[in-house]
A = this chain, B = another copy of it.
Amino acid sequence: MTVTLADVAARAQVSPATVSRVLNGNYPVAASTRERVLRAVDELDYVLNGPASSLAAATSDLVGILVNDIADPFFGIMAAAIQSEIGGPGGRAGGERLGVVCNTGGSPERELTYLTLLQRQRAAAVVLTGGAVEDNAHASAVAAKLRKLAEAGTRVVLCGRPPAPEAAEAIALTFDNRGGGRQLTEHLIGLGHRRLGYIAGPEERTTTRHRLEGHRAALAAHGIDDDPRWTVHGRYDRRSGYETTLELLRRDPSLTAVVAANDTVALGACAALRDSGLRIPDDVSVAGFDDLPFSIDAVPALTTVRLPLSEAGARAGRIAMGREEPPPGGIATVRGELMVRGSTGAPRV
């Protein structure tokens, strides 16, 4: 049979309450007693019963991390950073918290399902990463969920996601996608480009919209034409980048630059251009977003906007653990940094 706290108590010749106290370390216990208890724990190979403990304490050691696509390093890097701040001491019972990542696959339903599941588990905290779907019904549903979670004592942190106006309890670390997008396009404009293709991400997503808005703001600021044919939407993957680039070239072969929604898409774009016999950046410049590790290895290396994914994730993790003060007002904007590399150059004349 499975060993319980009572067994440990019997072996250590103390009461169950005492065992509980040394395990949780939240109460003064005589050193000798503590040692005796720990020895018993060790000898019996006792493992605390999480559910029982959570039930009695009305809170658990679980911390949920929601990501849109776990196979995408963008999320993997953030998730790793968040989890690394959660694993450490700080929780109840031995000081170990269980940071777990949940893959929504970008689906609003799964996002809600996971939130409900975490709510059911009485999670200590929840971190939502990446862009949100811009559907009003869904946004309200999520906001309502977040409010309930917060009410129940679950800390809610958004990382790389815009603040949720309807759920003000949620701390938000937002990426400045708009500013980054603008910087990037201004860089290209500065090089002399006037005919810029733009591969946007999936519609109805905040990240997509903000990056695109930044791009357009740059164009507008310089009085540059924004031909609707030059913008096309796709998924955040390489194949989509490949296909949409071919589409852009079909629509207007005279484009001199292609700006992609993210680095992965940009790589697909590069492949499509090469396969079309175009040189980068001599014939067409290409730019990405995020500065994922592989971007510097592309040939030529990718001009992009670096987002401090690890730093932001770590900070979100610490806030979720209550180890760092939330930013004033509950909202902080994290800026990107333009990384100019070989994939962009002056347009051909």
Chain A contacts to B: CB under 8 angstroms: 2, 45, 47-55, 60-62, 64, 69-73, 76-77, 79-80, 83-84, 87, 93, 96, 98-103, 105, 110, 113-114, 116-122, 148, 152, 237-238, 267-268, 270-271, 274, 293-294, 297, 299
Contact = CB atoms under 8 A, between A and B. Distances in A.
Nearest to A45: B148
A116 B96 CA distance: 10
Contacts of A70: 70, 76, 79-80, 83, 101
22 contacts: A45-B148, A47-B116, A47-B120, A50-B122, A51-B121, A69-B76, A70-B79, A71-B73, A71-B79, A72-B76, A93-B120, A98-B100, A98-B117, A99-B102, A100-B102, A101-B103, A238-B293, A267-B294, A267-B297, A274-B299, A294-B294, A299-B299
A122 to B, nearest CB: 6
B103 A79 contact: yes
A96 B117 contact: yes
A324 to B, nearest CB: 21
Given A103-B79, A103-B101, A60 B71 contact: no
A102 B62 CA distance: 12
Q: Which 6 A-B pairs have the closest CB atoms?
A: A100-B100, A51-B54, A71-B76, A50-B120, A51-B55, A50-B121
A302 B84 CA distance: 33
A111 to B, nearest CB: 11
Nearest to A99: B102
Contacts of A271: 297, 299
A96 B80 contact: no
Nearest to A144: B45
A48 B72 CA distance: 32
Contacts of A120: 47-50, 93
Contacts of A96: 113, 116-117
A70 B75 CA distance: 9
A152 B87 contact: no
Contacts of A293: 237-238
Contacts of A48: 120
A121 B52 CA distance: 9
Given A71-B77, A270-B297, 6 more contacts: A80-B103, A87-B110, A98-B100, A267-B294, A267-B297, A271-B299
A242 to B, nearest CB: 8
Contacts of A77: 71
Contacts of A49: 55, 120, 122
A39 to B, nearest CB: 18
Contacts of A72: 73, 76
Nearest to A60: B51
Nearest to A110: B87
Contacts of A100: 64, 98, 100-102
Contacts of A50: 51, 54, 60, 117, 120-122
Contacts of A87: 110, 113
